[in-house]
Amino acid sequence: MRIAKSVRTLEAYTPGEQPKAKNVVKLNTNENPYPPSPKCAETLKGFDLDALRRYPDPVFTALRNRIAEIWKTSPGRVFVGNGSDEILTLAAKAFVEDDEAIGSLDPSYSLYKTLAAIRNVPFIPSPLAGDFTWKRPVLKSGGTDVSLFLLTNPNAPTGTVTPIKTVTDFAKKFKGVLIVDEAYADFAKSNCVPLATAPDNRNVIVMRTFSKSFSLAGLRVGYCIGPEDLIEALYKVKDSYNADAVAQAVSLAALNDLPWMRSNSAKVRKTRVRVAKELAKRGWDVLPSESNFLFARPAHRPASEIFDALRAMNIFVRYFKGPRTGDRLRITIGTDAEMDTLLKALSTLDAP
């Protein structure tokens, strides 16, 4: 069997651990601690099983219409994918030539680098400053230009936000396609969707997911909004039926209960503020976060040691090896009870 050279040398994306044991405190993959809207359960219970004999709507008509209605744009500017990760994969196919590159922040979502390797093009990082803010984009390396820039905002794993003005100014100067990955935007104070829906927008796509604020990570649905020509390009390279009928129906139900999502997001934000203050009080260096997680450096012990000790107690957080991330833990915001369990454990594990 012949395996492509680019795949043989590929460093695969490593997803967060999904523990099977019961009674764990799972704070490692930025899932929502609260359940989806009851309308999602009603939709599942009432779903017509006979409909599964047929292929799903290949262009997600009802879902796209609802998304367009929410964001006051046209359905022709909306694309739905099998999770936002699929949209990223399609973008790498649609917007990057073989002699071009993919760019992103560093550190950021590690899948971006993997996508560049799969596409067999260079990945050009733009290092964040010492305070983890974005000061200067890097758009060229060794004669290769970045044609697709992936900007997670709020960023992961840092939780920090790139101001809208910075994004706007960059988009105006950038000659390629800018995708603003807003997986965590419902936990933030602002978003970049107005850039995507603007009539004069030529190169900005804003991407959203149902995995975080809508509590539907197990469903795998994401969408994006952008100029019609870029959206059309994504349709050209997508699979024939890339989002199943059940996922489309349940996602639509979630969009028809926005107050539920907003209430859950508000609870997460409130808990985030409380836990950030408590960790800071204990001497931890906690980055300002507008996401559903905190990125923090322990006060007294190495992050790797605390990660291992917490795991032994069935408390799961995320640890990323590396020069910029290896001294910190990424902690998903769970319920108040889950966060109290974590804080109690840290009282012993990171004692002076």
In this prediction, residue 321 has a pLDDT band, given cuts at 50, 70 and 90, of confident
Tens digits of residue pLDDT in 31-78: 999 999 999 999 999 999 999 999 999 999 999 999 999 999 999 999
The fold of the 18-36+259-349 domain, in CATH, is Aspartate Aminotransferase, domain 1 (3.90.1150)
Distance, in Å, from the CA atom of 233 to the CA atom of 171, rounded to the nearest integer, reads 19
Q: What is the pLDDT of residue 10?
A: 86
Residue pLDDT, tens place only, 179-190:
999 999 999 999
222-245, pLDDT tens digit by residue? 999 999 999 999 999 999 999 999
How far are the Cα atoms of 45, 49, 73 from residue 334, in angstroms, in the given order? 27, 34, 34
Q: Which residues pair with 247 in a beta bridge?
A: none
2-11, 122-131, 224-233, 238-247: which range is least confident on average?
Answer: 2-11
Return the pLDDT at 16.
Answer: 84
In this prediction, residue 1 carries a pLDDT of 63
Mean pLDDT computed over every residue of the chain: 96
Per-residue pLDDT averaged across 274-290, rounded? 98
pLDDT at 222: 98
Written as one string, the DSSP assignment of 201-214 is -SSEEEEEESSSTT
Residue 125 has pLDDT above 80, yes or no: yes
pLDDT digits (tens, 9 = 90+) for 132-164: 999 889 999 999 999 999 999 999 999 999 999
The answer on pLDDT for 79 being more than 90 is yes
DSSP character at residue 19: -
Q: What is the 3-state secondary structure (H, E, C) of 250-303?
A: HHHHHHCCHHHHHHHHHHHHHHHHHHHHHHHHCCCEECCCCCCEEEEECCCCCH
Please report which confidence band the pLDDT of residue 17 belongs to, taking 50, 70 and 90 as the band edges: confident
Give residue limits of the domains in the chain. 18-36+259-349, 38-256
The topology under which CATH files domain 38-256 is: Aspartate Aminotransferase; domain 2 (3.40.640)
Over pLDDT 90: what percentage of the chain?
90
- Specify which residues 126 forms β-bridges with: 105
Can you give the pLDDT at residue 15? Answer: 85
Query: What is the pLDDT averaged over residues 320-330?
Result: 91
Q: pLDDT confidence of 307, banded at 50, 70, 90?
A: very high
- Among 12-16, 56-60, 94-98, 161-165, whose mean pLDDT is lowest? 12-16
Whole-angstrom Cα distance, residue 236 to residue 245? Answer: 20
Q: Which residues contact 213 (CB under 8 A, 6 or more apart)?
A: 32, 186, 187, 261, 264, 265, 292
Q: What percent of the chain has pLDDT over 70?
A: 100
